[in-house]
Amino acid sequence: MELYELTVHELLEKLEKNEITPEDITKSYIERINNKEQDIQAFITLLDKEAEETAKNIEAERKKYEGIPIGIKDNICTKGVKTTCASKMLEDFVSPYDATVVEKLKDEGLIMMGKMNMDEFAMGSSTEYSYFKKTKNPWDLTRVPGGSSGGSIAAVASNMLPWALGSETGGSVRQPASLCGIVGLKPTYGLVSRYGLVAYASSLDQIGPATKDVEDCALLLGLIAGHDKKDTTSANVDKKDYLAHLKDGVKGLKIGVPKEFFQKGINEEVKENILNAIEIYKNLGAKVEEFSFSMADYMLPIYYIIACAEASSNLGRFDGIRYGHRAKEFSSLKELYVNSRTEGFGDEVKRRIILGTYVLSSGYYEAYYKKAQKLRTLVINEFKKGFEKYDVILTPTSPTTAFKIGEKSDNPLEMYLADLYTVPVNIAGLPAISIPSGVDSNRLPIGLQLIGNHFEEDKLLQIAYAFEQAFKFREKYKPDFKK
């Protein structure tokens, strides 16, 4: 077994016993990157030389996580290293400060291996909307890894990184995790600081871990969670010990299954797989019950109205003056704004800005934006009712497995459908995890989604862990880089 094949908790065990050094780990991953990055295209900025240097200088008396590599999505600010958001607008942007999560990881001694590819400004579900490159799915190089955190997720799935950080607005960690056969978590809104995360839709955004297994997910969440006074929406709650109940099993726990999530638009093989996963949970002693989630049909409209409205406002700061791309030719201030934005933003970003400006404009504000906000409250209430009865809610993560590169990139509505099951979670600010639950007849991974109540990540991880141990996906299936 190569070191790059191990999970972080397995690496930590070996470090503890002095069987390996941090330098061995870094070397192993860099070798893997040299072998696979050409095919996968996950990194926007690769920091292999810096990582090697840092690892070399780690002393024998080290902190627990010192020397463990990590990848950071390129919309999370890193001092002295470019943060591009995969946009021409920020092609040369270097942040003067670290995001809080990055600061925390550095304090623990983790080594930043690089900045990861993504859809421009995190808008997309396939990582095809990056200005720089298209990341490939390690299970089939002709297919997308999902998005928008496709670089982070594909790098972990192909063992180029032991783990990574992505960001979520409507599913951008869970959906690619599902399409690439790894674990992805979207924490409760407010649990992880957004300070230094370039804003897409502030009321929905949250940074989340992408890992090889559930235990690593619990570890990484523990490293990044916690109150931050630099983020006014950060929740003032104590973070939990996410490992404490990991192995407690699911006996007697109640799982709710919303029947509307198994109807329109779902691929038959995905549906069959998730129904099978439900049987596994029953065999493990969980009580599973079907219920009705009446708001299901309104999720995408609510999400895309709110997300675009907030995006149009957040992206107003890119004006060609303060930072980012500035047009060379202009004859007035207005033209400087217009030309800089026209040149700096890609089509999908422009589409969102136009849509967002429209739903916020006088005359349409009441009809769209305000209505979406009212419906958002109803969604929150409907989940609340669900959690009075159930410990978690179980759904597929994505209605389909990985699609072909180019299959949906010219059809925004088709692309938006990829988020059908993930956006409700962001709308309600809940935590949710995607774990691999099998493969389809093309040997493409399928993901199972578990949604928890606010700040109940510990229970979510416990229930996810039970399935993982029973199913053993990582032992059964490995990506084969099919061309």
Instruction: Verify cis geometry, omega within 30 degrees of 0, for the bond prior to 148.
Output: yes
- Shortest reach from residue 227's CB to ligand GLN, in Å: 23
Q: Is 124 in the site for ligand GLN (CB under 6 A)?
A: yes
Q: Are 257 and 387 in contact (CB under 8 A)?
A: no
- Shortest reach from residue 141's CB to ligand GLN, in Å: 22
Which residue in the set 419, 457, 458, 468 belongs to the binding site for ligand GLN (CB under 6 A)?
419
Q: Is 191 in the site for ligand GLN (CB under 6 A)?
A: no
Residue with tokens 């493990």: 284
Comparing CB distances to ligand GLN, the nearer of 22 and 346 is 346
Residues 28-67 binding ligand GLN (CB under 6 A) are none
State how far the Cα of 129 lies from the Cα of 127, in Å rounded to an integer: 5
Comparing CB distances to ligand GLN, the nearer of 171 and 256 is 171
Q: Is 215 in the site for ligand GLN (CB under 6 A)?
A: no
> Which of 4, 439, 459 shows the shortest CA–CA distance to 214?
459
**Pairing of the two strands 163-168 and 69-73:** parallel
No. of helices (H) and no. of strands (E), the chain: 16, 11
Comparing CB distances to ligand GLN, the nearer of 171 and 346 is 171
State how far the Cα of 215 lies from the Cα of 308, in Å rounded to an integer: 35
**Count of residues of this chain found to bind ligand GLN when the rule CB under 6 A is applied:** 13
Q: Which residues belong to the active site?
A: 73, 148, 172
- Shortest reach from residue 270's CB to ligand GLN, in Å: 18
> Which of 59, 125, 44, 121 shows the shortest CA–CA distance to 421?
125
Quick one: which segment of 121-129, 288-296, 365-373, 439-447 binds ligand GLN (CB under 6 A)?
121-129
- Residues with Cβ within 8 Å of residue 8, at least 6 apart in sequence: 68, 162, 163, 211, 212, 216, 219, 220
Q: Is 103 in the site for ligand GLN (CB under 6 A)?
A: no
Comparing CB distances to ligand GLN, the nearer of 120 and 458 is 120
> Which of 80, 71, 158, 76 shows the shortest CA–CA distance to 116?
71
Comparing CB distances to ligand GLN, the nearer of 240 and 376 is 376
Give the residue closest to ligand GLN by C-beta: 172
Q: Which amino acid is present at 178? A: S
Quick one: which segment of 88-96, 122-130, 270-278, 447-455 binds ligand GLN (CB under 6 A)?
122-130
**CA dihedral of 218, 112, 164, 120, whole degrees rounded to 10:** 140
Which residue in the set 74, 168, 456, 468 belongs to the binding site for ligand GLN (CB under 6 A)?
168
State how far the Cα of 169 lies from the Cα of 427, in Å rounded to an integer: 9
Which residue in the set 83, 127, 159, 169 belongs to the binding site for ligand GLN (CB under 6 A)?
169
Quick one: which segment of 28-36, 157-165, 167-175, 234-242 binds ligand GLN (CB under 6 A)?
167-175
Comparing CB distances to ligand GLN, the nearer of 200 and 387 is 200
Half-sphere exposure of 140 (CA within 13 A, CB side): 17
- Shortest reach from residue 32's CB to ligand GLN, in Å: 27
- Joined tokens for residue 31: 């070798």
Which residue in the set 95, 135, 152, 172 belongs to the binding site for ligand GLN (CB under 6 A)?
172
Which residue in the set 7, 117, 127, 148 belongs to the binding site for ligand GLN (CB under 6 A)?
148
State how far the Cα of 137 lies from the Cα of 40, in Å rounded to an integer: 7
**CA dihedral of 316, 321, 325, 331, whole degrees rounded to 10:** 110
Quick one: which segment of 4-12, 165-173, 256-264, 282-290 binds ligand GLN (CB under 6 A)?
165-173
- Joined tokens for residue 67: 């020397």
Comparing CB distances to ligand GLN, the nearer of 172 and 234 is 172
State how far the Cα of 30 lies from the Cα of 24, in Å rounded to an integer: 10
Quick one: which segment of 133-141, 168-176, 224-232, 271-279 binds ligand GLN (CB under 6 A)?
168-176
**Pairing of the two strands 69-73 and 111-116:** parallel
Which residue in the set 22, 67, 171, 176 belongs to the binding site for ligand GLN (CB under 6 A)?
171
Q: Is 188 in the site for ligand GLN (CB under 6 A)?
A: no
State how far the Cα of 420 lies from the Cα of 401, in Å rounded to an integer: 13
State how far the Cα of 205 lies from the Cα of 90, in Å rounded to an integer: 19
Q: Is 178 in the site for ligand GLN (CB under 6 A)?
A: no
Kindly list the residues in this chain that would bind ligand GLN in the complex (CB under 6 A). Answer: 122-125, 148, 168-172, 200, 307, 419
